[in-house]
Amino acid sequence: MLTNTGRIVVVLLIWAVLPANAEHLALPDLAAPPQGSAQWIARSMRMNGLPMSLKAFQSRLSADAVLAHYESELKSLGSHDVRRAVNTPWQVLMLKSRDYFITVHARSAASGSEGTILVSPALDPAELRLQTDFPRPRTARIVNLQQYDDSGMRSEHISLSSERAPFAEAQAFSQLLITNGWNIISTRPTRESYRGFVLEAQRQAEQALLVIIPDAARPATTAIVVTWKRS
């Protein structure tokens, strides 16, 4: 079974090799590999505006055998561009069709192999938008947006950047949230940085956790991470 950290790494690896893509199309659902099982990580999610689904799998087969199975299965679907790549320790199978992309990552595991299957529709990158309904000051720019909608449970993970100091952004977010009907449950300094702040807010069933800290990569700017449980 992939650990949570492993899953995050896999998502980032997959995103790094994917071309840009689409939405509102029925996406293929690949079954578990032979001698294996599969579990959903996200039936419905968006990465920076791109709709996709993601599942993890395990198999007693080797990573190479698993990819060979999926390569044969995908080629049988018709005239598609199917390619193999290696991103150690991962072996990668990528399929591109007119309507969608499929990316299968597989690596060796103690019991055989493990990996992920990511499916996304094909779309011109110009059609993708970083859009969220979470209140934010105009000074906070979205740099990464992950949105999940599984079985009615909606949530978002929003990364933002600002040229203003953490204290100024913490005040701005607090005031904006209150204006939009949120209650600020807690405001406290972060453990990692005396200049950083953690805000907890709630609006009926919605919950939000904001971490506002100096950006380690760009000390003159502020990094903001919002975890928003919408329902």
What domain count does the chain have? Answer: 2
For residue 105, name the pLDDT band (cuts at 50, 70, 90).
Answer: very high
What pLDDT is recorded for position 193?
67
Q: Which residues pair with 228 in a beta bridge?
A: 156, 208
- The pLDDT > 70 percentage for the chain reads 86
47 closest CA partner among 109, 106, 104, 120: 120
For residue 26, name the pLDDT band (cuts at 50, 70, 90).
Answer: low
Give me the half-sphere count of Cα atoms (radius 13 Å) on the Cβ side of residue 178.
10
pLDDT greater than 90 at residue 199: yes
Final residue of a domain: which of 70, 97, 127?
127
Determine, yes or no, domain membership for 220. yes
CATH of the domain at 101: 3.30.530
pTM for this prediction: 0.69
Quick one: average pLDDT of 90-114?
93
d(CA 113, CA 87): 15
Enclosing domain of residue 113: 4-127
pLDDT greater than 60 at residue 92: yes
CATH of the domain at 158: 3.40.1000.10
Residues 103 and 167 in one domain: no
DSSP SS3 for 210: strand
What pLDDT is recorded for position 10?
40
Determine, yes or no, domain membership for 188. yes
Residues 112 and 154 in one domain: no
**How do residues 48-72 score in pLDDT, each as one tens digit?**
888 889 999 999 999 999 999 999 9
Determine, yes or no, domain membership for 134. no
55: its two tokens: 């599942």
Residues 77 and 34 in one domain: yes
pLDDT greater than 70 at residue 15: no
For residue 16, the 8-state DSSP code is: H
Give me the half-sphere count of Cα atoms (radius 13 Å) on the Cβ side of residue 150.
16
d(CA 83, CA 92): 8
Residues 20 and 117 in one domain: yes
**How do residues 204-228 score in pLDDT, each as one tens digit?**
999 999 999 999 888 789 999 999 9
What pLDDT is recorded for position 12?
37
Residues 109 and 219 in one domain: no
Residues 146 and 115 in one domain: no
Residues 116 and 197 in one domain: no
Final residue of a domain: which of 62, 93, 127?
127
Quick one: average pLDDT of 95-115?
92
Quick one: average pLDDT of 12-37?
61
Final residue of a domain: which of 127, 161, 182?
127
2 closest CA partner among 65, 54, 47, 70: 54
What pLDDT is recorded for position 5?
33
Other C-beta atoms closer than 10 Å to the C-beta of 82 total: 16
- The H or E element containing residue 169 is helix 166-179
